[in-house]
Structure formats: structure tokens, C-alpha cells
Amino acid sequence: MKKEMIEQIDGYGDIIREIDVSRKFGSAFKDEKGKVKDYISHLHPSRIQMRVLDIIDETGSTRTFRLVPEDAPLPPFIAGQYITVFVETGGIRTARPYSISSAPNQRGYYEITIRRVPEGLVSGFFLEKVKTGDVIQTSGPQGFFYYNPVIHEKKVICIAGGSGITPFMSMIREVVECGLDKEIRLIYGNRSVDDIIFHRELTRISEQFDNISYIPVLEIPPEDYSGKQGFITGDIIREVTGNTLDKTFFLCGPPAMYDFCLPELEKLSIPRKRLKKEMYGAPENIWEYPGWPEGLSQDETFSVIVNNGKPFKARAGEPLIKALEKNGVLIPSLCRSGECSMCRVKITAGKVFQPPGVPVRTSDKVFGYVHACVSFPVTDMNIHI
Amino acid sequence: METYDAVVIGAGNGGLTASATLARKGLNVLLLERHNIPGGAATSFCRGRFEFEVALHQLSGIGTNEKPGPLRMLLDKIGVMDKLEFVPMDDLYRVVVPGEVDITLKPDRNQIVKELQLLFPKEKEGIEKFFDLVWKVFSEVIGVFYFKDPEVSREKYPHFFQYVLKNLQEVFDQCFTDPVLKTIVSPYWTYMGLPPSSLAFVDMAAMLFVYTEFLPYHVKGGSQALSNALADTVLSNGGTIRFNCGVKKIIVENDKIKGVVTENGDEVKTRFVISNASKISTYIDLMEPEHVPQKISDELKQSTLGQSAFTLYLGLNCPPEKVGLNASTNFLIGDTDPDRIYERMQQREIGEEDGMLLTCYDLIDNSFSPKGCSQIALVTLKYGDCWLSVPPEEYAKEKFRVADSMLSAAEKIHPGIRDHIEEMEIATPLTHMRYLGHPKGSIYGFDSYLRNSMFFISNRSDIKGLYNTGGWYGSSGFQPTLESGVKAAKALIREFSAQQEGVK
Ligand SMILES: Cc1cc2nc3c(=O)[nH]c(=O)nc-3n(C[C@H](O)[C@H](O)[C@H](O)COP(=O)(O)OP(=O)(O)OC[C@H]3O[C@@H](n4cnc5c(N)ncnc54)[C@H](O)[C@@H]3O)c2cc1C
Ligand SMILES: Cc1cc2nc3c(=O)[nH]c(=O)nc-3n(C[C@H](O)[C@H](O)[C@H](O)COP(=O)(O)OP(=O)(O)OC[C@H]3O[C@@H](n4cnc5c(N)ncnc54)[C@H](O)[C@@H]3O)c2cc1C
Ligand code: FES
């Protein structure tokens, strides 16, 4: 439309005057420069440089690393969230999530507590190589495993296995240090007494505070032990819980614990809305899952081509992301459990196996996208990243 | 150094249709996106067994096969129509004003008029007149702009010349007085952000006309399906998309585009850039001050930042009927004075006196949520400032507190929601800021005052090779932003071809 015609529209002159005034007093937004980045980095920095201030021995195979930021103040987090550490070890650049075990009211540092996993790349690196004073790179706090006051009951049953205690440690510390109006009963399963992380602190807190109870469960109890034994069964949970209706359940531990505990919880008819479970990595025995291709060995290898590059081999029983990392293909990752979708890649030819329940977007499935951290190669394939 | 025919900054609606159009024309295009997924606001995310739609409530401009709307034709041309499944909504919307009215309108002009006349017999003529004006004015707009009539005159387009620069309130005052009636016909003002006292009448006319004539739609798989389909078109036509790769600088020399620099520090050479980043980010963050054209600074000075939103995404472990929901688009309005509602968009509090939009797709798409479940998006507009002033350590607590009061307000009309919530996510203006990269989390770009409309702002850049697309440069919303990408790409292609010719 021509300008002369626009000028003839009723009310044109009034708006021109309005424009004159607004230009006189308006801002050209120069002070917005860098603001978006600033705000976001206060709450959600994508990377934090951390110095290891302290290393605390927890058990024979577990250590706590106290991390302080090198530059900006740490972003706040909600008890239960994790950070991802980015490391290079043995020539491999990779990442692992670790729940923050310190309380969110500790604004000066985060603590992560790492248990050595047999043959574990990153846990091994931390337990053997990392010294105080080292600088490591982490993500900002991530994850959705936290208490939501809008929908969760004030009485909480926490069920932990092994290193799965860490998010609960943060929650419990916050409740007692900040005097929150919440009740936590912690059921904590381990193999033996020596494996229990934070045993002394948990015992002390539960003795001191009425709203925290601590119920260790041991697979191999010592001689004079009078506590709960074996695995965390429905019976134990029922006994600790009493009335299940006014409580929300939080579950955190290795996949094997879920395989055992979830059916037990089902017996108690806990609806999903009162059951929150933290993811804890890709299944370690994917080949035992229903739907795994008949007769395919976990050690079978397949050829993978990324963006028409040079092919390399990937093992069926290992998540695709690890094969990519071993071959120097960097793809971003945070949760390493299928949840955050950071490691989304497009399979353009071939097939992967994914465990059931991985939250991949409906249309991503249609267009061939998978989360590489929980995808296992079961044919030769081409990938686009 | 890498070289491309064109670089597109941002994979929102506009960036995606722009890239798809360029790639289909055979240009070697690079699309750079900060986030790890295409779509910008047009996306979804998963929590537990639910997949939540972020932004799309009602898609406009699709129409039917027999009477295709402009967006259907556009998507068809880009070649994504057959990759998508669109579901029409049976209702235009439902409006609830507690104690006053609870009415669901069908997308049918005659039926709406009849029903309103029955409810407001005293305003019979005014109702007729209002809808008559809506249709007349917008039909003339179509003649002038879509069909680009070369001979526009007051004689030919009388309503256009009389009404196109009036605000909605002026037209209301000519038609009727009942505040409840006004509330029923204008909840769409929240799709633009300004209340009737400052919203352009033509903007309201556009929405009523387009949603009624071409029906409101939902896409199966949510707006992410649309974004993925567009991204797929870019890739299958030889385009390149890089995620987790923001642009930190646009290189300008002698008022010409020379390239861009990514967040990783990589420089990419190109003579053409289409920016889907906000107008502020494009000129203030990505460019050196000395390169910003005076014309753009002037345009910025007459603009003010529009609202962001506060949204609750709720996954319910029951069907929608269980909490009394029977319509997919519900405006819950606690005050028939929109100016008061608008004023409260400056504060964090949300209560019964506010207006909110409650959308539930499960009523028209039974594949949307897991069996026996449903999901609700509960949104209200909020200016970003009130959230930016929250200290970081208070942020999570404040989020939960406001969510709680919003939920309580919604429960006054739909009791029982809270007891059925299995998953919940909360989005604040900061969330929108984080995922879209827009100042103060603004979701609609600038406030859509008439002085910022296309009659007064060209958005055309004096920098050669730079084009813009998206809600910051013209109208926001799905249909307009998707259209703007194609428009930007076409303008680029014209210039690109002219230069190619010149070289030959
Ligand atoms: C959200 C989240 C929070 C976590 N928080 C903690 C935490 O607070 N403390 C902590 O110690 N760990 C935590 N983990 C686990 C941690 O991220 C790593 O998976 C773990 O440290 C093993 O990594 P790695 O590199 O040492 O082993 P890898 O080199 O990745 O694995 C080596 C071998 O060990 C097996 N394996 C992997 N994980 C386990 C396991 N957990 N138990 C037994 N075998 C395993 C693998 O299948 C493989 O065969 C968390 C995981 C998630 C997803
Ligand atoms: C809660 C909500 C509800 C809505 N409801 C509706 C509705 O019902 N109907 C409707 O029609 N519209 C609705 N809208 C509006 C609609 O979603 C938007 O108008 C539209 O999606 C905007 O598209 P855009 O092209 O402007 O890009 P945006 O979606 O704004 O995306 C911009 C993209 O650019 C990227 N980017 C920014 N800066 C950079 C950089 N420097 N480098 C690389 N990438 C960058 C961002 O990450 C983002 O992906 C809603 C929006 C929201 C948030
Ligand atoms: S890293 Fe989170 S989904 Fe793979």
C-alpha cells in the first residue's frame, strides 16, 4: 500500500504525533545489551568452572568432593537436582551426572559424592586422579527430582539404594538446617555396613530431629545387627510408611533397585502421582530387556557412520553415546539417562534398541530422532548430528 | 572458513520456514539454533509419561481441504502438509466469568450472533453491527494486503479507511455497552497482549475472522511436529542445521553483511542473513553499535517490550471430564474490566480476579496423553520485569507460591484439578527468556500498539543482505511468523538472484 494512501486513513495524524512523542522519550534498548545472557547465567549457566576445595572419604569406595566456583557465584538449586561433570580421561571426552549431596542453603559450594563403579571410567577418574585444587567443568543444576510443595504431601518416604542416597542427603540436610515443616522417612538399602554412605550423619540427625527417621536395610548384615535385612521389600516399606495415602514416595538408586522395588511398591497401590523416581543412567543389562533382538549378543559390533564420515564400530550392549565419545564424536549430554534430550541425534539408516519408557517426543520418534545415551545399536547405521 | 549462501539465525517458526524456502530454492543454507531442538516457542517437552505442548493453543489459517486457509497453502507449498495431521477444534472458545456467564461459542458467525442476541436481547442490533464490521473491515484488509490491489481508494475500501486505525474500544462503544458481552467477544485480546482500550480493532477483527472462517486447529504431536517437519524439509533439501550453536555476532562491513560468528567462536562467511532472533538481540547484542542504522534505532524507540507468560503445564491422571472440562479452549475471566486485568500483568500475583487461558487438547485428540490421562496448559500473560526482580535464591520458592495461587484460582471454576496432578511444570518469564533468548522473556515481541503496526514500521534494514523474520518484526503468533519466514526468504532470493545475474 502506498504511503500517500496510508496517510489518508482516519486517525493517521494522531498516531504520527504519538510516534513523535514516543521517539522523544523512548529507549533504543541499548541497555539491554548482554542482559538476557546475564540473567540466564545467574540461574542456569551452561558451564561452571569449579575448583575442588576438599575431598572427604565417606566409605572405602566413596568420596565427597566439595566444589567451589572459580568466578561467578553458584546458581541456586532445588534439593534433589544434579550437576553434570565434563571430563577428559583416557583420551575420552565425556560427561556424567551426579546429584548434589550438600544442602541448597549452602550457597558457597556444591558437594557431589561419588561411589566407584567397577571398571567405571569417570567414577574411577574421580576416586583415583582428582586432587584438591584441581579445576573441573560442570553444568548448572539440572533435573526434576525434587519436592514440589504444590502437589506433594508433606510426609515423604525416601527410598535409596547405594549412591542413590545423595539427593536425599541434600533434602534431609535442608529440612533440618532450615527447619522446614516436612517429615522424611528414609529407607536406605546397601550390601553391608561398610557400604553405607553418611551412616553416622544420618544416625545423628534422626536421633536429634523428630521429623527425620532413618531405616537402613542391609543385604549382608553384621553379627549383632537388629535392623532390617535383605532387599527393600513391600513389607518393609509398608511397615515404615503406615498409612500410604498421605505420603509421597521418592525413589533413587541403580536400575537394579528399581527392578526390585517398583513391583514391591505396586503391591501397595501407590498411584504414580505420589511416586517420584530419579533416573539413574542407562540399563546395565539391556540385552535382558523384553524386545531385545533374539540371539543378539551384547558383544556384537556394528558399523556407525556419522555425517558421512569414516565408519567406526559400536558394541550392541553399550549406549551409542559412549561409542561416539570413544571415537571422538562430541555430542552434548547432561542426564545420560534419556530424560533431558540433550543428546538427541537423528538415525538416518539402521536401527537402535531403546528401553521402554524413555521420554522421546512423539514427533521425534516419527522423524527418526533418538536419545543416544539410552540407544543401543542393533544394526549398522548412519547418524546425523 | 565455511561459506554459505545464507545463514539463518534461530530455528523458531520464522527461521524454519525461511530456511526451508531457501533450501528448496537450492540455496546453500545454514540454520543456527542456540537450543538443542527446532521450534523456539513451537516445541514440546516430556515429563514422566506426558509430553507437554509449550505454546500452541489454537492454530489459525489452516481451513479445510475444500476451503483452504492461507497457512494450509503455505505449508503445502513448502511440502510439509503430508507429514502432518491437523485436527480442527469444534469450539471457537468457551468464556467463563464466575457468577455472570459460562458460554461456549462455535466457529460459526451466524450462530455466534444468534446466541449472543438471545443472551443480550437489548444489544441485538449492536451485536449484528459489530460482527458486520469485523467481517467487512477484514475482508477489505484482505483485498488491500493479500490480493495487493494496486488501486486502493477510500471509495473502494470505505471500512478500511474508517476503521483500520481505530482501537477496539472505540468500536465497542459504537456497538454495545454490556461489559459481560464485551468480555465474551474479546478474550482473544490476550493473544495479542493489549486490552481493548489500546488494541487495534483490526487485530481483533483478524483473529475473529480467521479463527471463525478457517477454524482453530491442533496438530497431532503438537507444534513440535510442525517444527520437526520443517526442519526435515531443510535437511532433505540439502540445508544444514546446527543445534546448540548460537550466534554471537553478525559481521557487518560498509553496511553489508559479511558473515556471522558462533558462540564457539567459529566464523561463517555469507552475504545473506535472516535473523529470527529478537529485534533487540539482532541489533543490540549481535551487532556493533556503529552498524545499527538510525532508522532501526528510531523504530526501537517507539517500541515497548510486550508480555511474557506464566504457565502451568499439568499432567492429570484422569480424563478431562472428571474435572469438568468439556471445551478445549477455555478463557477463565475473573474481572469484566480488561484494563484492570491488564494492569495486573505487571505483578507476579495470580488470583481469581485475573484472566487465564486453560487449554486441554485431549478433548479433540485422544492420542495426546497416555490412556485415561489428560493435560492442561494454564496460561496468563505477565510482563517480565516483576519476575526479573526476584533474587535468584528466592526464585524456586516464588515459582511454587505463584503456581499454587494460580491453581487455586482455576480450581474455583474446576475443582479437583490438584488432586489429579501427576506431573507439573511451571514456566515463568525467565523460562521464556532462557529458551527463546528474548529480552524479559517477551513471547509476542513488542507491545502491538498501532504505532508499531506495519503502517508505521517497515522493519526493513538498511544493511544490505540482512533480513528479519518472526514475532518481533510484525505480528506474532504461529500463522504470522510462519508466513514472515517465507516472505523474508523470498526477498532474499530476489536479491540473491539479482546478484547472481550481475556476476554473469
Ligand atoms: C541423575 C543421576 C544422578 C547420579 N548421582 C550419582 C551420585 O550422586 N553418586 C554416584 O556415585 N553416582 C551417581 N550417578 C551415577 C553416575 O552418573 C555414573 O553413572 C557412575 O558414576 C558410573 O560412571 P562411570 O563413568 O564410573 O562408569 P562407566 O564407565 O560409565 O560404566 C562402567 C561399567 O559400570 C556399569 N555401571 C554404570 N553405572 C553403574 C552403577 N550406578 N552401578 C553399577 N554399575 C554401573 C556400566 O554398565 C559399565 O559396565 C548418578 C546418575 C544419574 C543419572
Ligand atoms: C506460552 C505461549 C503461548 C502461545 N500461544 C499461541 C497460540 O495459541 N497461537 C499462536 O498463534 N501463537 C501462540 N504463541 C505465540 C507463538 O508461539 C510465537 O509467536 C511464535 O512461535 C514465534 O515464532 P518466532 O518465529 O518469532 O520465533 P521464536 O519462537 O521466538 O524463536 C526464536 C528462535 O531463535 C533462537 N535464537 C535467538 N537468538 C539466537 C541466537 N543469537 N543464535 C541462535 N539462535 C537464536 C531461539 O533459541 C529460538 O529458537 C504462544 C507463545 C507462547 C510462549
Ligand atoms: S543426555 Fe539426557 S537424554 Fe541423553
- Closest-CA distance, A369 to chain B, in angstroms, reads 10
pLDDT in tens, chain A (385 residues): 888 899 999 999 999 999 999 999 989 899 999 999 998 988 899 999 999 999 999 999 999 999 999 998 999 999 999 999 999 999 999 999 999 999 999 999 999 999 999 999 999 999 999 999 999 999 999 999 999 999 999 999 999 999 999 999 999 999 999 999 999 999 999 999 999 999 999 999 999 999 999 999 999 999 999 999 999 999 999 999 999 999 999 999 988 888 889 998 988 999 999 999 998 889 889 999 999 999 999 999 999 999 989 999 999 999 999 999 999 999 999 999 999 999 999 999 999 999 988 999 999 999 999 999 999 999 999 999 8
Taking a C-beta distance cutoff of 8 angstroms, is the pair B470, B481 a contact?
yes
**Grid coordinates belonging to B89:** 477444534
Q: Is residue A169 part of a domain?
A: yes
List the beta bridge partners of residue B378. Answer: B312, B358
Domain boundary pick from A103, A138, A173: A138
Asked whether B306 lines ligand 2 (CB < 6 A), one says no
Q: C-alpha angle with apex B439: B433 to B445, nearest 5 degrees?
A: 100
Q: Quick one: A190 and A264 in the same domain?
A: yes
| Model pLDDT, residue B458 | 85
List, as one string, the DSSP characters of A197-260: TTHHHHHHHHHH-TTEEEEEEESS--TT--SEESS--HHHHHHHHSSSTTEEEEEES-HHHHHH
* Crossing angle of helices B201-214 and B124-141, rounded to 10°: 90
Asked if B455 and A44 come within 8 Å (Cβ–Cβ), the reply is no
Domain boundary pick from A80, A109, A138: A138
Q: Cα A170 from chain centroid? A: 14
Indicate which CATH number applies to the domain containing A65: 2.40.30.10
| Model pLDDT, residue A266 | 87
Q: Quick one: A341 and A236 in the same domain?
A: no
List % helix, strand, coil for chain A (3-state, nearest 5).
Answer: 30, 30, 45
What span, in angstroms and rounded, lies between the C-alpha atoms of B459 and B86?
Answer: 32
Residue of B86, B163, B297 to mutate for A, most A C-beta atoms under 10 A: B297
Taking a C-beta distance cutoff of 8 angstroms, is the pair A359, A282 a contact?
no
Give chain A positions within 8 Å (CB) of B403.
150
User: Measured between CB atoms, which of A15, A150, A363 is closest to B224?
Assistant: A363
Q: Quick one: A302 and A229 in the same domain?
A: no
Give chain B positions within 8 Å (CB) of A366.
221, 225, 228
Asked if B244 and A148 come within 8 Å (Cβ–Cβ), the reply is no
Q: C-alpha angle with apex A69: A68 to A70, nearest 5 degrees?
A: 120
Ligand 3 centroid to Cα of residue A282, in Å, is: 10
pLDDT band at B20 (very low <50, low <70, confident <90, very high): very high
Q: Is the dihedral of CA B198, B202, B203, B205 positive or negative?
A: positive
Q: Quick one: A160 and A253 in the same domain?
A: yes
Of B253, B240, B442, B433, whose CA–CA distance to B345 is shortest? B442
| Model pLDDT, residue A280 | 84
Strands, E assignment, B144-233: 217-219
Ligand 2 centroid to Cα of residue B442, in Å, is: 9
Q: Are strands B374-382 and B308-316 parallel, antiparallel or unpaired?
A: antiparallel
| Model pLDDT, residue A354 | 96
Which distant-in-sequence residues (6+ apart) come within 8 Å of A242 by Cβ? Answer: none
Asked if B395 and A76 come within 8 Å (Cβ–Cβ), the reply is yes
Give the global pTM.
0.94
Of B484, B495, B477, B9, whose CA–CA distance to B242 is shortest? B9
Q: Which domain, by its residues, includes A360?
A: 292-384
Q: Is residue A36 part of a domain?
A: no
| Model pLDDT, residue A1 | 80
| B245: pLDDT strictly greater than 90 | yes
What span, in angstroms and rounded, lies between the C-alpha atoms of B411 and B408?
Answer: 5
Q: Quick one: A91 and A163 in the same domain?
A: no
Q: Quick one: A243 and A330 in the same domain?
A: no
What span, in angstroms and rounded, lies between the C-alpha atoms of B274 and B492?
Answer: 8
Counting the structural domains of chain A, the total is: 3
Of A309, A116, A363, A73, whose CA–CA distance to B368 is shortest? A363
- Other CB atoms within a 10 A radius of the CB of residue A264 amount to 17
Residue of A39, A144, A275, A340 to mutate for B, most B C-beta atoms under 10 A: A39
Ligand 1 centroid to Cα of residue B257, in Å, is: 48
Q: Quick one: A60 and A109 in the same domain?
A: yes
Indicate which CATH number applies to the domain containing A173: 3.40.50.80
What span, in angstroms and rounded, lies between the C-alpha atoms of A165 and A186?
Answer: 9
Indicate which CATH number applies to the domain containing A356: 3.10.20.30
Q: What is the largest CA-CA distance in chain A?
A: 97
Asked if B439 and A366 come within 8 Å (Cβ–Cβ), the reply is no
* CA closest to B422 among chain A residues: A273
| B504: pLDDT strictly greater than 80 | no
Q: Is residue A67 part of a domain?
A: yes
List the beta bridge partners of residue A114. Answer: A63
> Which residue's alpha carbon is at the smallest distance from atom 35 of ligand 1?
A284
What span, in angstroms and rounded, lies between the C-alpha atoms of B273 and B259?
Answer: 8
Q: Quick one: A120 and A218 in the same domain?
A: no
Residue of A17, A36, A170 to mutate for B, most B C-beta atoms under 10 A: A36
Asked if B152 and A75 come within 8 Å (Cβ–Cβ), the reply is no
- Other CB atoms within a 10 A radius of the CB of residue B162 amount to 17
Nearest listed ligand to the Cα of residue A338: 3
**Grid coordinates belonging to B428:** 515463568
Q: Quick one: A84 and A176 in the same domain?
A: no
Domain boundary pick from A277, A310, A340: A277
Taking only the tens place, the pLDDT of each residue in B392-439 is: 999 999 999 999 999 999 999 999 999 999 999 999 999 999 999 999
Taking only the tens place, the pLDDT of each residue in B368-398 is: 999 999 999 999 999 999 999 999 999 999 9
Which distant-in-sequence residues (6+ apart) come within 8 Å of B88 by Cβ? Answer: B62, B64, B215, B216, B217, B218, B364
- Other CB atoms within a 10 A radius of the CB of residue B129 amount to 15
Asked if B289 and A30 come within 8 Å (Cβ–Cβ), the reply is yes
Classify residue A342 as exposed, middle or buried by CB count within 10 Å of its CB (0-12, 13-18, 19+). Answer: buried
List % helix, strand, coil for chain B (3-state, nearest 5).
Answer: 45, 20, 35
Asked whether B13 lines ligand 2 (CB < 6 A), one says yes
- Closest-CA distance, A195 to chain B, in angstroms, reads 31
User: Measured between CB atoms, which of A23, A33, A357 is closest to B284?
Assistant: A33
Instruction: For chain B, give the mean pLDDT.
Output: 96
| Model pLDDT, residue A203 | 97
Ligand 2 centroid to Cα of residue B361, in Å, is: 20
Nearest listed ligand to the Cα of residue A341: 3
Q: Is residue A338 part of a domain?
A: yes
pLDDT band at B503 (very low <50, low <70, confident <90, very high): confident
Taking only the tens place, the pLDDT of each residue in B150-184 is: 999 999 999 999 999 999 999 999 999 999 999 99
| Residue B426, CA distances (Å) to A281, B276, B341, B379, B409 in order | 25, 25, 21, 10, 16
Residue of B84, B281, B388 to mutate for A, most A C-beta atoms under 10 A: B281
Q: Quick one: A125 and A195 in the same domain?
A: no
User: Measured between CB atoms, which of A9, A34, A357 is closest to B285?
Assistant: A34
**Phi/psi of residue B69, nearest 5 degrees:** -90, 170
Taking a C-beta distance cutoff of 8 angstroms, is the pair B417, B314 a contact?
yes
Ligand 1 centroid to Cα of residue A123, in Å, is: 7
Ligand 3 centroid to Cα of residue A343, in Å, is: 5
User: Measured between CB atoms, which of A34, A76, A339 is closest to B393?
Assistant: A76
List the beta bridge partners of residue A249. Answer: A157, A275
Scanning A104-133 for CB atoms below 8 A from B yields 107
| Residue B4, CA distances (Å) to A188, B252, B262, B264 in order | 57, 16, 14, 18
Q: Quick one: A163 and A69 in the same domain?
A: no
Q: Is residue A286 part of a domain?
A: no
What span, in angstroms and rounded, lies between the C-alpha atoms of A102 and A110?
Answer: 6
- Closest-CA distance, A299 to chain B, in angstroms, reads 31
Q: Are strands A344-349 and B86-88 parallel, antiparallel or unpaired?
A: unpaired
What span, in angstroms and rounded, lies between the C-alpha atoms of A67 and A81?
Answer: 15
**CB of A26 within 8 Å of any CB in chain B?**
yes
Q: C-alpha angle with apex A178: A184 to A252, nearest 5 degrees?
A: 35
Residue B285, CA atoms < 13 Å, CB-side half-sphere = 24
- Other CB atoms within a 10 A radius of the CB of residue A124 amount to 16
User: Measured between CB atoms, which of B232, B422, B434 is closest to A40?
Assistant: B434
Asked if A332 and B244 come within 8 Å (Cβ–Cβ), the reply is yes
Q: Quick one: A178 and A97 in the same domain?
A: no
Q: Is residue A30 part of a domain?
A: no
Pocket test for ligand 3, best of A337, A369, A376 (most atoms within 8 A of CB): A337
The B374-382 sheet, strands edge to edge? B101-105, B93-97, B329-333, B355-359, B374-382, B308-316, B421-427
| Residue B163, CA distances (Å) to A241, B218, B450, B458 in order | 68, 32, 12, 21
Q: Is residue A29 part of a domain?
A: no
What span, in angstroms and rounded, lies between the C-alpha atoms of B116 and B186?
Answer: 13
Q: Is residue A2 part of a domain?
A: no
